Amino acid sequence: MSYDTIKVETRGRVGLVTFNRPKAMNALNQQMMREIVEALKAFQADAKIGAVVLTGSEKAFAAGADIKDMQSMDYPAALMVDLWGEWEDLGNFRKPTIAAVAGYALGGGCEVALMCDIVIAADNAKFGQPEITLGVIPGMGGTQRLARSIGKAKTMDLVLTGRLMDVQEAERCGLVARIVPATDLLEEALRTADKIAEFSLPAVMLAKEAVGRAFEVPLAEGLRFERRVFHSLFATEDQSEGMEAFVQKRSPQFKNR
């Protein structure tokens, strides 16, 4: 499969998607969204892939949805194509995703990072939801996922003023998991993905799903879901192997990786 707007590689058990529209600061157009979704579907189907890293360039993870693409769109057109709805395929992707963010992650770029499970950011990263400056609002989850991620105060501040926040602020408020020097960003993200891909894939996928539930259902429901999933993992060979290896003081050899 060949792609025009992204580069797709595998590094061992890790899938790597690099956004590749350098002249447009990796602005996300509909072709790019479809290509990313296509690449993710292939990684989902590939049993050898245990985690995926999404990244951009040193200047821009992605400077938002492509404004030039949307400029001439009218309401019926946006409604009929359900503009940006297909990104939910990234939100619903079942293997772990890491956003390796350098430079600008604005609008849709920030929202794509929010759809990923872990955000690792370079020391030059900047986040924001500047849609209000364009006469619109975030349309890929910025009012919903951002509020769940960093709370109402910061979300209102960003969404209503359109201001950008630097990486230290983004880490303080919980959007970013780790800050690393820009030169180490990809290596750190790949190392983290590689670590995750060493574990039992069914356990990893269910861990991701269980944490995701915390943002969707009431606490009692989430706790019950977690316990049932926890119980179900006792039906896997990898649970026997993981616990036996601990007792025998050796490294586990997980079969379902």
Indicate which residues carry an active-site annotation. Answer: 65, 108, 111, 131
Q: Which of 8, 25, 114, 150 binds ligand CAA (CB under 6 A)?
A: 25
* Residue closer to ligand CAA (CB basis): 79 or 217: 79
Q: Which span sits near ligand CAA by CB under 6 A: 72-80, 137-145, 218-226, 246-254?
A: 137-145
Q: Hey, which residues between 41 and 60 contact ligand CAA (CB under 6 A)?
A: none
Residue 65 interacting with ligand CAA (CB under 6 A): yes
67 binds ligand CAA (CB under 6 A): yes
Residue selected from 32, 33, 53, 63 as contacting ligand CAA according to rule CB under 6 A: 63
Number of chain positions touching ligand CAA (CB under 6 A): 22
Residue among 61, 104, 199, 254 that touches ligand CAA (CB under 6 A): 104
Q: Please list the residues that pair with 16 across neighbouring strands.
A: 9, 53
Is the CB of residue 257 less than 8 Å from the CB of residue 200? yes
Candidates 20-28, 50-58, 112-120, 247-255 — which segment interacts with ligand CAA by CB under 6 A? Answer: 20-28
Q: Which residue has the tokens 């025998």?
A: 248
Q: What angle separates helix 201-213 from helix 237-247, to the nearest 10 degrees?
A: 100
- Looking at residue 146, its amino acid is L
Kindly indicate which of the ranges 24-32, 35-43, 176-184, 236-244 contains the residues binding ligand CAA, using the contact rule CB under 6 A: 24-32
Strands of the sheet with 60-62, listed across from one edge: 60-62, 104-106, 126-128, 164-166
Q: Does 27 bind ligand CAA (CB under 6 A)?
A: yes
Q: Is position 66 an interface residue for ligand CAA (rule: CB under 6 A)?
A: yes
**Contact between residue 63 and residue 26 where contact means Cβ atoms under 8 Å apart:** yes
Q: What is the spatial distance between Cα 235 and Cα 240, in angstroms, rounded to a whole number?
A: 9
Q: How far is CA 104 from the centre of its chain?
A: 15
C-beta closer to ligand CAA: residue 159 or 193: 159
The set of residues, in sequence order, having a beta carbon less than 8 Å from that of 10 and lying 6+ positions away, is 16, 46, 48, 49
